[in-house]
Structures are given as structure tokens and as C-alpha cells.
Amino acid sequence: MADYPLDALDGRTPIEAAATPAMDRLVAQGTIGQYCPIPEGMPPGSDIGNLSLFGYDPRATFSGRAPMEAANQGIALAADEVAFRCNLVTLADGRMHDFTSGHITTDESRVLVAALNEALAAEFPVAFNTGVSYRHLAVVRAGAAASDDALAAAQCTPPHDITGQDYAGYLPEGEASTLIRAMMDRSRAVLAGHPVNVDRIARGLSPATSIWLWGQGRAPKMARYAELYGKTGAVVSAVDLVKGIGVCAGLQVLDVPGATGWLDTNYAGKVSAALTALETLDVAFIHVEAPDETAHQGRIDLKMQAIADFDRHVVAPCLAWAERRGDTRVLVAPDHFTLISTKTHAGGPVPFALYGPGVPASGQTAYSEGVAATSGILIRDGHRLVRAFLGDAAPAL
Ligand SMILES: [Zn+2]
């Protein structure tokens, strides 16, 4: 949701330009400040930003994207296993032609992943798990071919970072690279000429020519939320990664029909699931993805719509509910910047707003990056924001 001022909006940010009466009311009755979801020197990813927002120090807990996705799929990693994100990709003419294999369907992927398991499992210490579309997981067992330390430390490149580029210079590096590269090589022979690909080519679609392994790590060492903060809770999200953090934290992960991670998501269903959960649990975490996705597309109009929709369909009913009850706090916060100007993420402090018992009124009238920057409140260790949220006292100024 957070962004920089844009010329096209006369120097305003999308939050400042969008209609956000509920968030503005939340700020007027509560506090606004800044917090840093991305620790200095770490990449501004949703994995790291959301760990902070959940109250986990990314420096101590982050072990890769794949292990959290594995947790969400119910895949428990043994101590000697390392999970890799396994994209089905289209390599052509020595280049990363398409990191999604033309957004290959899950049904097609399931057939290809089965073929990969059949061919590679006998030769390599690996098991593949079908995910959604082009996004799968490979679980590699440590052994003679590579230690778990070497597997975890291998330098792997996200395929979406090298679209259109020569991929040879981006193949895995490090001690375990021989094994990882060998599996990727072998996959190309299995996938070449596979009936699923023959059919895709005949329909003018990109075939899945190779697996691409990246984002790996061991099982994250995360204390249960209940142990850390003494609270029970639930997570509502359309995104595997966020749900995976919830699983690792020991929170209830609620499935909401029609939660898409896009502008057409089922906002009412998400809010209703969260408020129902609060009848028996202490904390509900509602994650909305559309402001991020629309910013990745560089669409100012759609990002403003996503923010206005979030305000109207998520913040407004939650704030009204909390106002009626009088015993509930509401926190609004992005997990990182996603910039219209670059169509990608950025680090740095983002605005949060906190309302509820014990939180003094700020006297401010708007939720925005600029108002937060002049608030005098900056939580540098972003994972400490949750203490202000859950604590009895007001956030430290
Ligand atoms: Zn993003």
C-alpha cells in the first residue's frame, strides 16, 4: 500500500490521493507512526515484511521462502531436508523465456511433476510436490551428494528476476550446485517431448522445458505465537506465503472462498471470517494483496482503487466492530513499499495506524506516509510493532 509521491498525482502518494475515510478516522481516534518491516540489509520481500508484522525478527527466523510455502502445504521438513521453490519454466535460446511456463495450469503441472518424481527420485535424493500453476516445491534430502548446510547456502536466483536474460550466468552456485544443476539438467530431458508440452506447443502456449530451483531453506525455527505473545489467533489471506507464516506460528489459517489476492477478492468473506474468529481467539490477521499486485503492474488507478476498497470493505467494518465492542485494538500496516515508479518493492519505514483502548488520540486527521513521517514515532525493529499492538500500554513515543 505504501508508495512515494507521484508527479501524476500532483506530488501525492496513492494513499493520499485515494478516498480513505475509515483509516483517517482510525488515525484521528488513535496513533499514527512509522515502522521498519525490512531490517537493514535484507531484501524487501513479502516473506520478510510479513514476519516482522507478525512479530518475528526476520534476522532470527527467516530461512527462505520455500519452507514457509511447504508449511502451508502441510509438508513437514525433517532435520536433514531442505525445501526449494521449484518453478516450471520455459527456457529458450539460452534465455529465461518465461518463469511461469505461460501460467501453466495446475492440472497440467500435476502430470509433469509426477513424471519428474518418477524419473528423478531414483537418481537424486529429491521429492517434488505439486503446488499451484507453475509454483511447486522440491524437498531435497542431505547426504553424500550435498550436506544440508551446503544445500541451504547455495546461491540460487529467483527466475522472475532474469526474464529475457541469458540464464547460464544465473545457475545455482556453491558447494551443492553440482547436485542442484544436475537435477535441473535431468528435468529438461524428462520434460522435452512430454505429451503435456507437445499439446501446449500445438495450442501456441509456452511449454515447461525445465525446473528452476530457488528460495530454499530448512524448516523455520519459529516459536509459537501463543508462547511468544500469550495470544491465540487466526490468519486470513489468499497468499501461500502468508498462510505459511501463520502455520509456522501455530495460528489458525482460515480458508475463505473467493479470496483471490486481487481486486475481485471476497473482502466481506475475509472480514467476516476474521470477526467470527475473534469470538473465540485473541488476534485476527487479515492480509490484502491487491495494493501490491496493482503496484507491480504500475497502475496508479488500480492501486488507488485497491486502497479505497481496502478502506471501505476491510478497515471500515473492522473499526466499526471495534468501536461497538470497546475492548479491541485495530492495527493497519503495510509489509513493505511497492512502488508505482519501479513496479517493485522497496525497504524503509512505512506508516502504521493503531486504534483502541489505551491508545491516545493523535490529533492527526489522515493516514499517510507524510503524516507518519512527521509523527515522531519510529519503530526501527519492525517486529516490535506487535508489542505496541498487543501491549496494555500505549506505544512508546
Ligand atoms: Zn509484491
User: Which one-letter DSSP state was computed for residue 234?
Assistant: E
Q: Chain-wide mean pLDDT for the chain?
A: 94
Give the CA distances from residue 327 to residues 23, 296, 330, 377, 384, in Å, rounded to whole numbers and listed in that order. Answer: 19, 37, 10, 24, 22
CA of 37 to the centre of ligand 1 (A): 14
How many CB atoms are located within 10 Å of the residue 195 CB?
Answer: 10
Q: Measuring CA to CA, which residue among 309, 311, 357, 353 is closest to residue 331?
A: 353
CA distance 319 to 331: 10
Residue 392 has pLDDT above 80, yes or no: no
CA distance 375 to 362: 9
pLDDT grade for 397, boundaries at 50, 70 and 90: very low
Q: What is the mean pLDDT of residues 175-196?
A: 97
CA of 120 to the centre of ligand 1 (A): 33
Q: Measuring CA to CA, which residue among 49, 91, 47 is closest to residue 69?
A: 47
The domain ranges of the chain are 7-62+222-390, 78-217
CA distance 364 to 369: 13
CA of 202 to the centre of ligand 1 (A): 33
pLDDT grade for 395, boundaries at 50, 70 and 90: low
**Confidence (pLDDT) at 269:** 95
CA dihedral 179, 183, 184, 185 (to 10 degrees): 100
pLDDT grade for 72, boundaries at 50, 70 and 90: confident
CA of 263 to the centre of ligand 1 (A): 14
Q: What is the mean pLDDT of residues 387-397?
A: 70
| 133 contacts 104 by C-beta, under 8 angstroms | yes
| pLDDT tens string 330-340 | 999 999 999 99
CA of 237 to the centre of ligand 1 (A): 14
**Confidence (pLDDT) at 261:** 75
Q: Looking at this protein, which amino acid is placed at residue 73?
A: Q
**Confidence (pLDDT) at 30:** 95
How many CB atoms are located within 10 Å of the residue 302 CB?
Answer: 18
Render 183-195 in DSSP notation, one character per residue.
Answer: HHHHHHHHHTT-H
CA of 339 to the centre of ligand 1 (A): 9
Cβ contacts of residue 251 below 8 Å, gap of 6+?
225, 232, 233, 234, 235, 283, 285
CA of 241 to the centre of ligand 1 (A): 12
Could you tell me the end-to-end alpha-carbon distance of the chain, in angstroms, rounded to an integer? Answer: 24
CATH number of 7-62+222-390: 3.40.720.10
Number of Cα atoms under 13 Å in the Cβ half of residue 249: 31
Cell numbers 485497491 label which residue?
A: 306
pLDDT grade for 160, boundaries at 50, 70 and 90: confident
How many CB atoms are located within 10 Å of the residue 361 CB?
Answer: 11
CA of 344 to the centre of ligand 1 (A): 7
CA of 109 to the centre of ligand 1 (A): 24
pTM value? 0.85
Q: What is the mean pLDDT of residues 252-278?
A: 91
| 189 contacts 155 by C-beta, under 8 angstroms | no
CA of 193 to the centre of ligand 1 (A): 34
| pLDDT tens string 281-323 | 999 999 999 999 899 889 999 999 999 999 999 999 999 999 9
Cβ contacts of residue 27 below 8 Å, gap of 6+?
353, 355, 362, 364, 365, 366, 367, 371
Cβ contacts of residue 106 below 8 Å, gap of 6+?
130, 131, 132, 133
CA of 18 to the centre of ligand 1 (A): 20
CA of 291 to the centre of ligand 1 (A): 9
CA of 48 to the centre of ligand 1 (A): 12
| pLDDT tens string 28-60 | 999 999 999 999 999 998 899 999 999 999 999
